[in-house]
Amino acid sequence: MGCGLPAGDGPRELPPVSAFAGDDGSPDPRLAAVLDEHADGRAEIADVVEALATSRVLVPVMAHEVADGATGQGPFAEREVETSVVALQAPDGRTALPVFTSVAALSAWRAEARPMPAEAPRAAASALAEGWPLLVVDPGGPVTVVVPRPAVQALAAGLTWHPAVRGGQVRADVREAIERSVAQVPAVRSVDVEPGARSEVAVVVGLPRGLDRSGLEAVLAQVNARLAADPMVAQIDTLELRPVAAG
């Protein structure tokens, strides 16, 4: 997933933490190693999230001049300046907080941004408090990882994230929860669950032949309602329905 332009003003600047007083801006060795493995296909996003749970990240802070903020008299009137954390907009419209593994990665992305160190779980909590469901690790590279909503929630809560898909397979308990939910819709003839091409999980729903547009929309609305009501299914970041003719 790519990210777009800054979304505008963000949350208040994270205050300095004494624990980072001696931080030289280098990446956490374990996190850097996992990111390299992820780039080579040897580690999944869940492994990156696990490393983030104990890592320091850098949140980019940008200064901007306040409108009508001139104070004082004469040719050298002071200008009022505020700082805010930068946000990114993902292609699906959701907002993400960018976090960086090192000062070098941050400077390569925005030379004018100031690094504010924070534990990754604290950065995740800050993002969620602003209604931003995603984190993007090193959006300027060399390895960019988008941390999905359930993982951000788990980071913020200090919990282990269990993704719906591991090793290219949908977890058995997730599959069973989806099948159980969809089976409650009388019109459904069959259901299959697989990793999605454009989403985390795809649900292939077999429906009777001959449904008109309004009938199809009504059945899919029932399927969506059943899925949304299941707590386990609700933890899937993105889910797509694929209706197919069956029977």
Rounded distance between C-alpha atoms, residue 56 and residue 48, angstroms: 13
Could you tell me which CATH number the domain at 165-245 has?
Answer: 3.30.70.1350
Contact between 136 and 88 (Cβ < 8 Å): yes
Which pLDDT belongs to residue 21? 67
H or E stretch including 160? none
- Mean pLDDT along residues 215-234: 96
pLDDT tens sequence across 107-160: 999 999 999 999 999 999 999 999 999 999 999 999 999 999 999 999 999 999
pTM here?
A: 0.81
Every domain of the chain and the residues it spans: 25-67+80-157, 165-245
pLDDT tens sequence across 158-214: 999 999 999 999 999 999 999 999 999 999 999 999 999 889 999 999 999 999 999
Checking phi first, is residue 34 left (phi over 0); if not, alpha (psi -120 to 50) or beta?
alpha
- Mean pLDDT along residues 71-80: 51
- Mean pLDDT along residues 46-60: 96
